[in-house]
Structure 1
Amino acid sequence: MSEDNKRPSAIDSLEHASPPALASAASELYVASPSPPIDEPEGPNPFLVDDPEDPLSPEPPTPRLAVHPSSSQVSVAAAVDISLSAAASPYRPPVQLPSVNVNKPVPAFPPAPSSDTESEPDAPAVYLPQLVQPTMFLPIPNTDPLTTLLTKFVANPEKRPKRDLTGEWTRSDFQTLVHSPHAPQMTNSWRALARMARDRIVEADPEDLPDVLNLWSLRLSCLSRMRLFNQTTAETTNLFTVLSAVEPPTARAYVFDTLLPFELEVLQARVRYWSGDPRGYTDALGALLRKCRRKARQGDREMWAERGARVALIAASQFVETKDFTAATRLLEPLLAQPDPTHELRSAVGRIYLQAGQLAAAERHFAAVARDPAVPQPLKDLNAAFLASARGDWARANAILGDIVDRDPENFSAVNNLGVALLGEGKLKEGIDVLETAFHAAPSTLAMAEPFLFNLSTLYELRSAVAADKKRELLIEVAKWSGDGLRTTCLKMPTN
């Protein structure tokens, strides 16, 4: 099943403090009862915590392959001709040699070569002109799902917001395409960024392989943000087909171990998910975790530990999506044993336990967060509201969330969950008013918040008399402010 056919839960939170890969999975308010166990493979153990039998100790360094010179590079000194004929040289009497001066000072030893002057083996020369060929790329469609909805549900063309589907980027820079020049919110101009990356790859020097691969990473990430999963899969396959054919094997290993951005390896694993192979996706993430563990042993532990934690969060999100909450918590719990675990991570683990119906375990994690004086009070209150909602105490949840919103109207996670809590008390109109007020106050931010839009659309449907008109107005506003890549199923408007 593709991601386009999945819809966010009606009780999704907008909590952005937790890692992005886990945000949608960890933001559910409650699950009525634990789900039955699912026949899923066990999650890979995170590399950050060592097994007693397998400590994370430095392994002996891998011997480097010596480059042997060819026969044309080896020169042999010419043999010295020695005359064997006694008549060739006249007799000379022996020469008296001077006596040896045993008191002659011994010269000092030469200084040891510094690390800067030590000879290091040169990196292998890798020349891949195939990576900059235009045939490696597919054209980006000149339409998107939002435009399709506008054409279907807004009959008057003059009322349809103008959307840039050309992807023109030459009059903008990278920062402008990512962020608004006058505000910190994202502009989500993924179409223009994808075209910019493609054009710069085609113009790049194939010998500058690190820059070419970084541009490839930008290109594929933008395509996935636009939810063009088939195109992302095709171009990712093209890229790794070229990289896997690099010869000799030592040069190929150098490319994959040294030059290839880690984000491209994550995208390659994600291809299996988009192709409908969730088990293969889990296996690929497990292979990435093992690589992070191996690399952490060999050096730069901090960088590979951070990468391993990211992969663990992605894998946990996948387990939550398949309702395998046990595997998700088994994967994330060891991360909490690391020095200085983040309170966002512990809160996310607690919310997974809420979805699994294990309220006692969730309360234990929330209590640990509440005892930490360094944790911001809004996060503590939000956890308490989640727990109250899971217990059905909607009045307490409303009181806690209302206090958060009064103190910080821009805490949109609390606003979103306040609307759901008001619905739990049967206050439908008040819930709609809370969400609409927040949307009109910050449309550029909430136009891309899919859980928020899904909840608001759901509340409109419960007021069936105004559902069609309200959702049409919401569609027009979202089209004005959102960029590329919105999952339009959150608006609950059929496309056919």
Structure 2
Amino acid sequence: MDPTSAVTELTESELLELRKSDAWLPSEATRRCLVEGIPGPETLPCLQASDVAMGAALGPNNAQDPIRSLLARCYNSESKADNQRLVITADMVSQDLDGLMQLLKEHWYHAALVLTHRLLTSYGHGFDKVGQTSARLTPLTAQLWLLRLSLLKRTQQYALMNQELEAFGTLDYPDVYYEHAPHLYPGRKGSMVPFALRLLYAEAPRFIERQSEALDRLYFLAAVVARLISNLENGYTEDGSVVCPNENYQKTSLVLWRHRECRIYSCCLSIYLVANDYPSAIETVYRMISRLEPFGEHHFLYGVLGRIYLKFGDLESAERMFEKALEGSPADAPSTRSQRSMYSAMLLIADGRFNEAKRLFREVFDSDPSNVAAANNLAVCSLYLGQLEEGISLLELLTTPKPPVLGSPQPTPPLLPLHDSIVSNLAVLYEVESDRAASRKLHLLERLASVPGERLHARAFKLPLT
């Protein structure tokens, strides 16, 4: 596939749909470059030199698989780890986008990273390709970069993620806009950099202890989105250049950009909660409510507010928010009853009434064994009530894959979708329960090593990583 090939056969309706999602407002300097045809600086992202090893063939047992690596460390034996866990590598799939999609579908994230490295290198983004024409960003390579950087975030390689993002500059050079190359992208408007990549660029510093910088970037992003929304509300297209083609275009684009605005504020909220900055967190949630209320999609955010109030002991406000979260929900619907029980149980825990809370969490879990929050809270209540073995038994049940179906080479999925918090809480209960915690955690690791893919972070097992 040629990443520089032009898209030339789009209909007018297709161009309008793409315009909504691609819309962005360049800085004044960049806008002048686009209007006057001035080249301006180029966006030439490249893979880091320290990352070259990702492109190497690592053999049938990829040492970068975190679960296998942890097994090898615990056993002090590579071969024993290989016998315990089958790892899929980038070498085992086709070296193209189809192979990449296969790895992602099966949750082999490190192998997918290796393949993104190879594909981006083939498109001119390798370390030794810096400055070459072929390394210019295209719609295809922009999507590949988004995928790669998202995988670096998923695998918690935050330093490398930030290093590779630096090569993108501010994501505002003229060549990231379709108008820069109308001969390649006739009729296209806006930015070939996906919004999700701009959001990732904005929040990235928070993962390397630069929260203030992340907030500055996020609020700048929010300000640009607010201008886009203002243009739409005034009857113009996102960039304010022409009148909206029709009412449906205006409505659907407004919904899209209001949701994107809330994604930005959600990132800000995460930063405030980690910092225990509850006033800023509450203000941010109310801002999100005001954006989603016109669409009737805001009620769940009152539940978020309730949990924030619980964090600093304001039970009265929390209860009021939980009630607002359920307003408009069908009272007899199973989902409403389940959510009401969850909210009531949270209030009971905050009030130290663990027996009553446990009963409610048990009701929720029995009706929906996939409810991770109910399972975790059941275990917490058991711990506080001195019923440690009951809590351990519950979490062990949820982390034990079912026996393989006759004739099937792989186990069926576990009873509960795997989640780091379930494994981490079970490891903590082992530590509280006995001095045999290390061996029990190793048995837990061995149990879950049979589940294919990277569905858990290795640190969830609370075993030594080095």
TM-score (norm 1): 0.66
1:335 aligns to 2:288 (yes or no): yes
Out of 180, 193, 198, the position equivalent to 2:117 is 198
- With over 3 angstroms needed to count, the CA separation of the structure-2 counterparts of 1:384 and 1:174, relative to structure 1, is farther
How far residue 256 of structure 1 moved from its aligned partner, in angstroms, is 11
How far residue 404 of structure 1 moved from its aligned partner, in angstroms, is 1.5
1:222 aligns to 2:151 (yes or no): yes
Out of 45, 67, 87, the position equivalent to 1:146 is 67
Q: Deviations over 1:278-335 (max 9, x none)?
A: 1111111111111111111223322221111001011101100011111111111232
In structure 1, what is the Cα distance between the partners aligned to 2:365 and 2:299? 21
* Structure 2 counterpart of 1:326: 279
* Structure 2 counterpart of 1:288: 221
How far residue 227 of structure 1 moved from its aligned partner, in angstroms, is 1.3
* Structure 1 counterpart of 2:168: 239
SS at match of 2:357: helix
Contact 1:320 1:328 in 2 (8 A): yes
The amino acid that maps onto 1:403 is: E
SS at match of 2:54: coil
- With over 3 angstroms needed to count, the CA separation of the structure-2 counterparts of 1:126 and 1:325, relative to structure 1, is same
- With over 3 angstroms needed to count, the CA separation of the structure-2 counterparts of 1:433 and 1:278, relative to structure 1, is same
The amino acid that maps onto 2:322 is: F
How far residue 139 of structure 1 moved from its aligned partner, in angstroms, is 3.4
Contact 1:285 1:315 in 2 (8 A): yes
How far residue 355 of structure 1 moved from its aligned partner, in angstroms, is 1.3
In structure 2, what is the Cα distance between the partners aligned to 1:387 and 1:402? 15
Out of 386, 391, 403, the position equivalent to 1:426 is 386
Identify which range, 356-365 or 482-491, moves more after superposition: 482-491
SS at match of 1:152: helix
Out of 271, 274, 283, the position equivalent to 2:204 is 271
In structure 2, what is the Cα distance between the partners aligned to 1:68 and 1:285? 27
Contact 2:107 2:453 in 1 (8 A): yes
In structure 2, what is the Cα distance between the partners aligned to 1:318 and 1:247? 29
- With over 3 angstroms needed to count, the CA separation of the structure-2 counterparts of 1:247 and 1:144, relative to structure 1, is closer
- With over 3 angstroms needed to count, the CA separation of the structure-2 counterparts of 1:289 and 1:136, relative to structure 1, is farther
* Structure 1 counterpart of 2:256: 303
Out of 368, 380, 384, the position equivalent to 2:344 is 384
Contact 2:44 2:136 in 1 (8 A): no
* Structure 2 counterpart of 1:353: 309
Contact 1:418 1:431 in 2 (8 A): yes
In structure 1, what is the Cα distance between the partners aligned to 2:217 and 2:68? 35
The amino acid that maps onto 2:107 is: N
Contact 1:448 1:482 in 2 (8 A): no
In structure 1, what is the Cα distance between the partners aligned to 2:258 and 2:398? 38
How far residue 206 of structure 1 moved from its aligned partner, in angstroms, is 6.3
How far residue 472 of structure 1 moved from its aligned partner, in angstroms, is 0.8
In structure 1, what is the Cα distance between the partners aligned to 2:462 and 2:189? 43
- With over 3 angstroms needed to count, the CA separation of the structure-2 counterparts of 1:275 and 1:466, relative to structure 1, is closer
- In structure 1, runs of 5+ residues without a counterpart are 1-63, 70-122, 180-186
* Structure 2 counterpart of 1:407: 367
- With over 3 angstroms needed to count, the CA separation of the structure-2 counterparts of 1:194 and 1:471, relative to structure 1, is same
Q: Deviations over 1:4-24 (max 9, x none)?
A: xxxxxxxxxxxxxxxxxxxxx
Matches within 5 A, 1:11-26: none
SS at match of 1:164: coil
Matches within 5 A, 1:439-454: 439-441=399-401, 444=414, 448-454=418-424
Contact 1:131 1:239 in 2 (8 A): yes
- With over 3 angstroms needed to count, the CA separation of the structure-2 counterparts of 1:432 and 1:192, relative to structure 1, is same
The amino acid that maps onto 1:383 is: Y
Which has the larger Rg?
A: 1
1:176 aligns to 2:129 (yes or no): no
In structure 1, what is the Cα distance between the partners aligned to 2:275 and 2:189? 31
* Structure 1 counterpart of 2:85: 162
Q: Deviations over 1:392-437 (max 9, x none)?
A: 1111111111111222223232122111111121110111111111
The amino acid that maps onto 1:239 is: F
- In structure 2, runs of 5+ residues without a counterpart are 1-30, 56-62, 124-133, 232-237, 239-252, 403-412
In structure 2, what is the Cα distance between the partners aligned to 1:283 and 1:430? 47
In structure 1, what is the Cα distance between the partners aligned to 2:261 and 2:211? 20
- With over 3 angstroms needed to count, the CA separation of the structure-2 counterparts of 1:435 and 1:445, relative to structure 1, is same
Output the aligned Cα RMSD.
Answer: 3.7
* Structure 2 counterpart of 1:393: 353
How far residue 135 of structure 1 moved from its aligned partner, in angstroms, is 6.9
Contact 1:447 1:481 in 2 (8 A): no
* Structure 2 counterpart of 1:438: 398
- With over 3 angstroms needed to count, the CA separation of the structure-2 counterparts of 1:463 and 1:445, relative to structure 1, is same
Q: Deviations over 1:85-141 (max 9, x none)?
A: xxxxxxxxxxxxxxxxxxxxxxxxxxxxxxxxxxxxxx9999979558897964339
How far residue 464 of structure 1 moved from its aligned partner, in angstroms, is 1.3
Out of 182, 191, 194, the position equivalent to 1:258 is 191
Greater RCO, 1 or 2 (C-alpha within 8 Å, sep 6+): 1
TM-score (norm 2): 0.69
Contact 2:149 2:161 in 1 (8 A): yes
How far residue 157 of structure 1 moved from its aligned partner, in angstroms, is 5.1
Contact 1:289 1:308 in 2 (8 A): yes
Contact 1:220 1:232 in 2 (8 A): yes
How far residue 385 of structure 1 moved from its aligned partner, in angstroms, is 1.3
How far residue 441 of structure 1 moved from its aligned partner, in angstroms, is 5.0
Higher relative helix content: 2
SS at match of 2:439: helix
